[in-house]
Amino acid sequence: MSKYTAESHYDFMNDLVRRNPGQIEFHQAVYEVTKPIFDYIQDKPAYHEYRIMRRITEPDRVMSFRVCWENDAGEVCVNRGWRVQNNNAIGPYKGGLRFHPSVNESILKFLAFEQTFKNSLTGLPMGGGKGGSDFDPKGKSDHEVMRFCQAFMTELYRHIGDDIDVPAGDIGVGAREIGYMFGQWKRITRRHNGVFTGKGLEYGGSLLRPEATGYGATYFMQSMLAHRQDGIEKKICLVSGSGNVAQFAVEKIVQLGGKVVTLSDSDGFIYDPAGITLEKLEWVKDLKNERRGRIAEYVDHFSGSEYIPGLRPWRVPCHLAFPCATQNEILLEDAKMLLANGCIGVSEGANMPTVIEGIDAFLAAKILFGPGKAANAGGVAVSGLEMSQNSAKMSWKEEDLQRLLFDIMTGIHTSCVEYGRTEDPRFIDYVRGANVGGFVKVADAMLAYGVV
């Protein structure tokens, strides 16, 4: 048995920063997740003895590879691809692929690390991974995207498998990209199986997968409010982003009687004081998913709305906020503005959209704050259900999936409440609840395996 040495969180973080120089997003994610876990494990020597924190923050492996493809002008383009396999203690690696020029190893390590805890919280047998490329699908033709996806999969295929590592979509990777990548996987391996989730319904996808993350983030907010005998009805809501997660968050909020007044993209945001109705949302879905336009175009179609370039929506007074675009989109000054304007709840549809200082401000104000690993776990939960359907060679009905998604989200909420109770009976620290709740199962599985 190894010698027992209890490490402080301060020493642990210093060592992690030294071993991962310059990876600031990874440092940020590890700091946020491990701080409450260190409090939790301080009187639990086995976790220290087996160096669980050190092992859980060192990915099982990180693959990086060249992706070479030709654009429509016949020029050779070179991008970099990655797959981070963080931890498979409780199931095959599982997590999306992101195509965006900002993608780098630090961002993918943070996402794969967070994914490990999120997947554990769902209660389904899935480990944590993430991957992607610095390729930018914006402005590319369908044929260019297809050639890139095929080149990317020609390397990635050797690292994945339905019981090894199961990728899905993320920013810049939607139905079109998944179709191209799964097609190339099928061509190379001659297999048709559940190696990908988020697939089209025609070739093994699950009903409700596109809706799951946005719906789930809304259900999580509903559960947090219900815990305080409140609800979404009549609440003014801010949503950022206008992609997959944002669109279905708006849909569910509106169905539950809330009023959504903003949407955004990386160029700016729109403010519609009359509220984004389901009809207006259909127009946005067509704009973003079919015509691949910019959110600024909204104001040309819906009178009374305005476009604010270069800014995020958080200055608009609201009751509830749903950041659904990207990481670090709520800075400390945004958090302060939300609080000053009367915001009582934040449910993170995106991954790590709030900076650490912003989270601290929300927790100090004791508002309802649902961190991404709990609030946006609905997507990976339905991905897990897609894996089960593929294994069983069956497709489940939408109403069954709706019920399962709702049950999983309320189960995650219950788990957060169990580990997130504080001295103030009215206040649940969902950050602590989600981190500790996600950690326990993974850590106990790692203990069971011994030193591997």
Q: Which residues bind ligand NDP (CB under 6 A)?
A: 169-172, 213, 241-246, 265-267, 324-326, 329, 349-351, 376, 379
Q: How far is the CB of 103 from ligand NDP (least distance, A)?
A: 10
Q: How far is the CB of 248 from ligand NDP (least distance, A)?
A: 9
- Report residue 353 as tokens: 């959209």
Q: How many other C-beta atoms can be found within 10 angstroms of the C-beta atom of residue 200? A: 12
Pick the closer one to ligand NDP by CB: 154 or 222: 222
Rounded distance, CA 341 to CA 337, Å?
A: 6
Rounded distance, CA 90 to CA 118, Å?
A: 12
Pick the closer one to ligand NDP by CB: 34 or 242: 242
Q: How many other C-beta atoms can be found within 10 angstroms of the C-beta atom of residue 131? A: 30
Beta bridge partners of 130: 84
- Residue 450's contacts (CB-CB under 8 Å, 6 or more residues apart) are none
The answer to whether 349 touches 250, Cβ cutoff 8 Å, is no
How long, in residues, is the chain?
A: 452
Q: Which of 118, 130, 199, 280 is catalytic?
A: 130
Q: How far is the CB of 42 from ligand NDP (least distance, A)?
A: 31
Rounded distance, CA 355 to CA 428, Å?
A: 20
Nearest residue to ligand NDP on Cβ basis: 243
Pick the closer one to ligand NDP by CB: 13 or 137: 137
70: left (phi over 0), alpha (psi -120 to 50) or beta: beta
Pick the closer one to ligand NDP by CB: 265 or 386: 265
Closest CA to 241 of 167, 278, 192, 294: 294
Main-chain dihedrals φ then ψ at residue 421, nearest 5 degrees: -65, 145
Q: Does the annotation count 285 as an active-site position?
A: no
Kindly state the DSSP code that residue 295 receives in the 8-state scheme. Answer: G
The answer to whether 434 touches 373, Cβ cutoff 8 Å, is yes
Q: How far is the CB of 291 from ligand NDP (least distance, A)?
A: 12
Q: Helix, strand or coil for residue 167?
A: strand
Main-chain dihedrals φ then ψ at residue 257, nearest 5 degrees: 95, 5
Pick the closer one to ligand NDP by CB: 171 or 436: 171
Pick the closer one to ligand NDP by CB: 311 or 364: 311
Q: How far is the CB of 425 from ligand NDP (least distance, A)?
A: 31
Q: How far is the CB of 427 from ligand NDP (least distance, A)?
A: 26
Q: How far is the CB of 287 from ligand NDP (least distance, A)?
A: 11
In the sheet that holds 259-265, the strands lie side by side as 306-309, 268-271, 259-265, 236-239, 320-322, 345-347, 368-370
Pick the closer one to ligand NDP by CB: 13 or 124: 124
- Residues designated catalytic: 130
